């Protein structure tokens, strides 16, 4: 079986080494890239080979983890980022999810918590979408879809509803439910991204919440 591939961005060599050692003992994981600051990481994108998951430290010189996430929003890439931090701060957590992080863990987490989060993000896309929904409810100002001119076709609405489904569906599962190809699902995603300047799957959830377009936000 091919290993799950990971990139680590952390300014402490001992932390990167410790994470690699831990991951090698936890299961089928392989660190294929590592960077000691956010600027070097951003300059290297896109990475080849492309890892399935990016473990990003919050506290780094020059650019912290949130600033790296903000920079990633300006790119066309949808990277699966797990943010690690020693600072369990509500504002940091909310900002991490707002800017596209797929999961958040305190550095004091257990190996089981880390493995659980990595597996969920790689297989499903998020560590815990329920947690994301709970936090963005207190982070994003609600808007009026009609006033803002938000118009989605019935199929686009169906797609957006599935994105916000708390079962944390993959695009392949959405395609099965909608009886479409994955390419068609990706086309709906790309159209909504371009039309409303959305950068990530988390951004779609925020968009639906802001304008109260789908369950569970109606």
The domain spanning residue 150 has which CATH number? 1.10.10.10
pLDDT tens digits, one per residue of 47-98: 999 999 999 999 998 899 999 999 998 876 779 999 999 877 778 888 888 7
Structural domains of the chain, count: 2
- Assess whether 162 and 85 both reside in one domain: no
β-strand 103-106 against 81-85: which pairing, if any?
A: parallel
Query: Is residue 126 included in any domain, yes or no?
Result: yes
List, in order, residues 6 or more apart from 110 with CB less than 8 Å away: none
- Assess whether 104 and 205 both reside in one domain: no
- What torsion, rounded to 10 degrees, do the Cα atoms 89, 95, 96, 100 define? 170
pLDDT at 138 over 60: no
pLDDT tens digits, one per residue of 173-190: 999 999 999 999 999 999
CA 150-72-114 angle, to 5 degrees, is 105
Query: Is residue 216 included in any domain, yes or no?
Result: no
- Assess whether 30 and 113 both reside in one domain: yes
- Assess whether 176 and 90 both reside in one domain: no
Q: Which pLDDT score is estimated for 98?
A: 79
Chain center to CA of 131: 13
- The DSSP result for 17-59, as a single string, is HHHHHHHHHHSSEEEEEEESSHHHHHHHPSPSSPPSEEEEES-
- Assess whether 163 and 111 both reside in one domain: no
Last residue of a domain, one of 136, 170, 193: 136
Last residue of a domain, one of 136, 158, 180: 136
Segment holding 182, helix H or strand E: helix 182-196
CA distance 15 to 82: 15
CA distance 39 to 68: 8
Q: Which pLDDT score is estimated for 68?
A: 96
Average pLDDT over residues 185-207: 86
Query: Is residue 166 included in any domain, yes or no?
Result: yes
- Assess whether 97 and 169 both reside in one domain: no
pLDDT at 209 over 90: no
- Residue predicted with more confidence, 6 or 139: 6
> What's the pLDDT band for 141 if we cut at 50, 70, 90?
low
Positive or negative CA dihedral for 185, 207, 114, 62?
positive
Query: Is residue 37 included in any domain, yes or no?
Result: yes
C-alpha distances (whole Å) from 36 to each of 14, 24, 33, 187 are 11, 20, 11, 36
- Residue predicted with more confidence, 128 or 34: 34
- Residue predicted with more confidence, 100 or 199: 100
Task: Determine which of 101-105, 111-115, 143-147 has the lowest per-residue pLDDT on average.
Answer: 143-147
Q: Which pLDDT score is estimated for 19?
A: 95
Whole-number average pLDDT of the chain: 88
pLDDT tens digits, one per residue of 5-23: 999 999 999 999 999 999 9
Query: Is residue 200 included in any domain, yes or no?
Result: yes
Q: Which pLDDT score is estimated for 191?
A: 93
List, in order, residues 6 or more apart from 78 with CB less than 8 Å away: 199, 200, 201
Q: Which pLDDT score is estimated for 137?
A: 58
Task: Give the domain extent around 162.
Answer: 145-210
> What's the pLDDT band for 135 if we cut at 50, 70, 90?
low
Query: Is residue 39 included in any domain, yes or no?
Result: yes
Q: Which pLDDT score is estimated for 73?
A: 83
pTM for the predicted model, two decimal places: 0.71
Q: Which pLDDT score is estimated for 10?
A: 97
- Assess whether 159 and 187 both reside in one domain: yes
C-alpha distances (whole Å) from 31 to each of 60, 143, 147 are 20, 42, 47
């Amino acid at each position: 079986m091919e290993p799950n591939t990971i990139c680590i961005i952390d300014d402490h060599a001992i932390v990167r080494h410790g994470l690699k050692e831990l991951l090698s003992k936890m299961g089928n994981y392989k660190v294929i890239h590592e960077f000691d600051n956010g600027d070097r990481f951003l300059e290297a994108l896109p990475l080849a080979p492309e890892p399935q998951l990016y473990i990003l430290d919050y506290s780094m010189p020059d650019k912290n983890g949130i600033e790296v996430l903000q920079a990633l929003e300006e790119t066309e890439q949808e990277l699966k980022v797990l943010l690690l931090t020693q600072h369990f701060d509500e504002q940091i957590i909310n900002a991490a999810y707002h800017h596209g992080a797929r999961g958040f863990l305190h550095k004091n987490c257990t190996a089981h918590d880390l493995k659980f989060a990595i597996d969920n993000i790689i297989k499903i896309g998020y560590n815990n979408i329920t947690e994301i929904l709970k936090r963005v409810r207190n982070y994003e100002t609600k808007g009026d879809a009609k006033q803002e001119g938000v118009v989605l076709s019935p199929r686009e609405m169906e797609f957006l509803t599935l994105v916000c489904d708390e079962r944390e569906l993959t695009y392949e599962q959405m395609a099965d439910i909608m009886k479409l190809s994955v390419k068609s699902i990706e086309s709906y995603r790309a159209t909504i991204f371009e039309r409303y300047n959305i950068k990530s799957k988390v951004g779609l959830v925020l968009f639906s919440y802001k304008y109260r377009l789908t369950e569970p936000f109606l």
